[in-house]
């Protein structure tokens, strides 16, 4: 039955006295059907009200402030319109400076920088804590990438034959293989099929089974750009005792994630996309309760409570998420990562999200006005930083991608579609130019 209608009907039951026995069950069904009908007009839709994080009215960053941050990205002064942040972001001058300073210190300065590195590592985790509203920076482990982080959770849980994991067919492979690998343990994989690039809370509810133990999905889908209602899904999973594990690679740094409000058990995200950090680093967040259930598959010297007690080999793992780091993380990348996170927090995640939504909204309208078919959503509650279109009839996505690159507009071609993904430093003028150049390219290619 419809999850949201069922919840409301059961609430009604608290103040509507119902007869006992079979008649009570009949009345329960009647109430659920009644509420289901009422949702058509009066019951708040989960994407418009209730537990979800409210999406603000999109607004651009004020011009002078925006110009000061654009200067951090020198390619903007070279006539290049870069709209490919869903693939990899450019490194700001702050990131570059932080990494170079560290490497110079390792070469001709202190050389042994470990004490400074440890302090900076904790500051970096503190930035992530603020960015996703974690309970503490101690709930965060640094990881090499999203795949590594997800595998810590997937491989560390105690699976039993017949346990089920719920996935969908929109996911990037990094959020699929860690779970498919568990088939060898007798775990069953259920896959939600989407025909339009969307994955609604209703679709998830209908796909749940009695033995579903984990829901794995992306906060924002990598191709369609669909933004799931994580708060509603988190409430649903928590009410069912289902683990909620989110791949936030296409969200964190661009779209807000609040792990506490959204009742997320684990989040994994690499740094190079919307967090605008170096490659080879990212993070895993997990609740203290989930940590108690994710058993180590490997252990390193930094995994234990006191790594400097070198000859005490009977130590327990650290009480923090540091237990999952094992050994030394990618320190040069960590210094750059801190610089990128600090910039995002300096501007403000709300401000960045609003600016990005303004840009993608403008791009969406321009493409729709030109009669193009969008694969990405148009509803503000479902949009994020990705606008994906189907090329016009007779135009190959790969050819359009190459022609746009020659025109110095960099996007992605994925699955026969064209994906545009601006970030906070992109301007509305760049969006208008990119749209106009794209339409001109389409016209030229279709006439050949």
Whose CA is closest to 161, among 143, 187, 180?
187
CA dihedral 349, 354, 355, 361 (to 10 degrees): 140
- pLDDT, tens digit (0-9, with 9 covering 90-100), for 224-263: 999 999 999 999 999 999 999 999 999 999 999 999 999 9
- Domain layout of the chain by residue ranges: 3-38, 63-91+348-446, 93-346
Task: Please say whether the beta carbons of 198 and 224 come within 8 A.
Answer: yes
**Taking the CA of residue 374 as centre, how many other CA atoms within 13 Å lie in the half-sphere pointing to its CB?**
21
Cα gap 109→445, rounded to integer Å: 55
Determine the pLDDT at residue 448. 78
What pLDDT score was predicted for residue 57?
79
Q: State the CATH class of domain 93-346.
A: alpha beta
Query: Mean pLDDT across the chain, nearest whole number?
Result: 90
Identify the pLDDT of residue 447. Answer: 86
Distance CA 244, CA 378 (A): 26
SS3 label, residue 64: helix
Read off the tokens for 435. 């749209």
User: Is residue 241 within 8 Å of 407, Cβ to Cβ?
Assistant: no
Exposure on the CB side of residue 151, measured as CA atoms within 13 A: 14
- The whole-number pLDDT of residue 47 equals 38
In sequence order, which residues have a C-beta less than 8 Å from that of residue 313 and are 6 or more positions away? none
State CA 428 to chain mean position distance.
Answer: 24
**Residues of the chain with confidence (pLDDT) below 50:** 1-20, 22, 25-27, 29-52
**pLDDT one-digit tens code per residue, 161-193:** 999 999 999 999 999 999 999 999 999 999 999
User: In this structure, what DSSP letter does residue 167 have?
Assistant: E
Q: Is domain 63-91+348-446 given the CATH code 3.90.1150.10 in the classification?
A: yes
pLDDT for the residue 162: 97
Distance CA 426, CA 424 (A): 6
- Model pLDDT, residue 88: 98
Contact in structure between 136 and 322 (CB atoms under 8 Å): no
């Amino acid at each position: 039955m419809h999850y949201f209608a069922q919840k409301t009907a059961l609430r009604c039951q608290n103040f509507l006295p119902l007869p006992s026995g079979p008649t009570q069950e009949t009345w329960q069904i009647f109430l659920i059907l009644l509420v289901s009908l009422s949702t058509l007009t009066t019951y708040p839709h989960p994407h418009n009200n209730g537990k979800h994080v409210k999406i603000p009215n999109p607004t651009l960053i004020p011009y002078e402030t925006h110009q000061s941050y654009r200067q951090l990205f020198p390619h903007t002064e070279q006539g290049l319109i870069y709209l490919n942040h869903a693939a990899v972001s450019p490194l700001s001058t702050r990131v570059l400076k932080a990494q170079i300073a560290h490497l110079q210190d390792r070469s001709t300065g202190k050389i042994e920088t470990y004490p400074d590195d440890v302090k900076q590592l904790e500051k970096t985790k503190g930035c992530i804590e603020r960015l996703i509203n974690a309970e503490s920076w101690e709930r965060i482990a640094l990881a090499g990438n999203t795949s590594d982080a997800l595998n810590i959770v997937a491989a560390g849980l105690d699976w039993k034959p017949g346990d089920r994991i719920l996935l969908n067919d929109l996911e990037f492979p990094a959020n699929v293989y860690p779970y498919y690998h568990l088939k060898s343990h007798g775990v069953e994989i259920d896959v939600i099929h989407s025909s339009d690039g969307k994955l609604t809370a209703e679709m998830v509810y209908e796909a749940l089974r009695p033995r579903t133990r984990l829901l794995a999905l992306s906060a924002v889908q990598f191709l369609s750009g669909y933004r799931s209602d994580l708060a509603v899904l988190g409430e649903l999973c928590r009410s069912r005792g289902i683990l909620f594990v989110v791949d936030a690679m296409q969200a964190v740094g661009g779209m807000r994630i609040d792990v506490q409000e959204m009742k997320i058990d684990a989040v994994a995200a690499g740094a190079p996309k919307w967090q605008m950090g170096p490659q080879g680093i990212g993070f895993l967040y997990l609740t203290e309760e989930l940590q108690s259930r994710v058993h180590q598959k490997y252990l390193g010297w930094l995994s234990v409570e006191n790594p400097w007690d070198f000859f005490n080999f009977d130590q327990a793992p650290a009480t923090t998420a540091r237990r999952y780091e094992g050994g030394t993380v990618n320190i040069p990348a960590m210094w750059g990562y801190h610089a990128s996170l600090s910039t995002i927090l300096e501007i403000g995640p709300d401000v960045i999200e609003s600016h990005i939504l303004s840009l993608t909204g403008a791009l969406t309208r321009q493409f729709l006005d030109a009669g193009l078919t969008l694969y990405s959503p148009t509803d503000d509650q479902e949009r994020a930083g990705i606008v994906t279109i189907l090329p016009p009839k007779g135009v190959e996505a790969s050819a359009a991608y190459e022609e746009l690159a020659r025109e110095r507009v960099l996007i992605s071609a994925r699955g026969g579609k064209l994906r545009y993904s601006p970030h906070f430093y992109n301007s509305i003028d760049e969006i208008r130019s990119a749209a106009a150049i794209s339409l001109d390219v389409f016209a030229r290619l279709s006439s050949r």
